[in-house]
Amino acid sequence: MTHDTLVIGAGPAGSVTARELARRGRRVLLVDKATFPRPKVCGCCLNGAAVRTLERIGLGHVLAGAIPLDRVRIAGGARSAEVRLPRGVALSREALDVRLIDAAVRSGVEFRPNTTILQRDRGATDVNVTVLASGLTGGGAAPEPGSRIGAGVVLGAASVPAFYTDGTIFMATGRGGYVGLVRVEDGRLDVAAAFDPAFVKSAGGLGPAAEDVLGSAGWPVPSELVGAAWKGTPALTRRPVRVAGERFFAVGDAAGYVEPFTGEGMAWAVMSAAALAPIAARDWQPGLAREWEAAHARVVARRQRVCRVVSRVLRSPQLTGLAVRALALVPGLAVPFTSALNHPAQLPT
Ligand SMILES: Cc1cc2nc3c(=O)[nH]c(=O)nc-3n(C[C@H](O)[C@H](O)[C@H](O)COP(=O)(O)OP(=O)(O)OC[C@H]3O[C@@H](n4cnc5c(N)ncnc54)[C@H](O)[C@@H]3O)c2cc1C
């Protein structure tokens, strides 16, 4: 088959965009440098906006077997507070990403794993458009000074303390970063963290840094945690990039990334993929780039500003401690915030 659309990166942003474009009649080639399932540092929590968007575009079935989430327990030092969450789910990235690729292929997309496309090839003229969905480092956005790095590992169910129950997101914040833990569909514990690089160095590595943060919260440290094969990421917080140009559109993390604490990255990825498809499906003309810039700002930019505020609070142990104390007394204080983050964007029909 000859293709008229190239999608680079088969994470949630790329597979959902590819599927939506194929459903609109485009002949889509989806490529990824990895073979799947592949490891991906991620908290594995899909918030209410992600769940509702997937359902709305007919992809609710990819969440089969996911663990429903209804609360987050946040520790700031030795204090903790529990906040109710609107409906979300926990699902491993191995399961989610493979299912989304399958859905794209069933809609007519051709998928080629193990295929790397260099950034300079974006905007190639032998296709109508190229969609850049190649994640955190794929969009060419420069890291912001002082940005934290990400880290993650998934621990086997047998070594996980019973304290970490199904249905709750555990977030421990400490000096130098935070660690999120959640049970996924097969009982394993997904651990995802953001750390100051200097803290990781002084702690002696990613595992010891996570142990330090859990210890300061007084939470049990899973026996495999310190010695596990952690995977790190480059700097997380990036300056927003141009999200469109001559024959290319950027979507998902490739369009700029801010802060994982609020667990919104996958919601942004699927909401913006669904918003991009009606634009990228049209025959190329320069006005489409401006259309995508406006749509991207509407779907994602305001939400990213909320996350910037959260990330500033998390930088200060004093402010984090105050926030946790306030939430312990009045958990309802979180409602306006959790409702805003879990509200799906209006999408074109
Ligand atoms: C510590 C941490 C915790 C997080 N927790 C959560 C959470 O709980 N909930 C949530 O919603 N989000 C969370 N996120 C964010 C979430 O992981 C991302 O926002 C999401 O994966 C973005 O999807 P994407 O499709 O844009 O990119 P990705 O999922 O990163 O996919 C990009 C794909 O592009 C491929 N690729 C890259 N370069 C090339 C190339 N040159 N050629 C071909 N292929 C290429 C990669 O192999 C990859 O498969 C977290 C992130 C971090 C770092």
Write the pLDDT tens digit of every residue in 163-217: 999 999 999 998 899 999 999 999 999 999 999 999 999 999 999 999 999 999 9
Give the integer Cα–Cα distance in Å for 182 and 135. Answer: 22
Per-residue model confidence as pLDDT tens digits over 96-130: 999 999 999 999 999 999 999 876 566 566 889 99
Q: Which of 119-123, 132-136, 327-331 has the lowest mean pLDDT?
A: 119-123
Give the integer Cα–Cα distance in Å for 194 and 302. Answer: 22
Per-residue model confidence as pLDDT tens digits over 253-310: 998 776 667 778 999 999 999 999 999 999 999 999 999 999 999 888 777 777 777 7
Give the integer Cα–Cα distance in Å for 342 and 337. Answer: 9
Give the integer Cα–Cα distance in Å for 345 and 3. Answer: 30
Give the integer Cα–Cα distance in Å for 267 and 306. Answer: 14
pLDDT of 157 > 60? The answer is yes
Ligand 1 pocket check: which of 253, 264, 271 to mutate, most ligand atoms within 8 Å of Cβ? 253
Atom of ligand 1 nearest to the CA of 13: 25
CA of 263 to the centre of ligand 1 (A): 12
Give the integer Cα–Cα distance in Å for 197 and 129. Answer: 38
Residues of the chain with pLDDT > 70, as a percent, come to 93
CA of 138 to the centre of ligand 1 (A): 10
Identity of the amino acid at 164: Y
Q: 3-class DSSP state for residue 329?
A: helix
- Give the residue from 281, 296, 300 showing the smallest Cα distance to 250: 296
Identity of the amino acid at 297: A
pLDDT band for position 348 (cuts 50, 70, 90): low
Hey, whose CA ends up nearest to atom 12 of ligand 1? 265
CA of 291 to the centre of ligand 1 (A): 24
Instruction: Please give the torsion angle defined by the CA atoms of residues 194, 315, 215 and 151, in that order, rounded to the nearest 10 degrees.
Output: 10
Q: Is the CB of 11 under 6 A from ligand 1?
A: yes
Q: Which domains does the chain have, with CATH numbers?
A: 5-45+55-66+91-144+236-313+333-342 (3.50.50.60)
Global pTM?
A: 0.93
Q: Is the CB of 48 under 6 A from ligand 1?
A: no
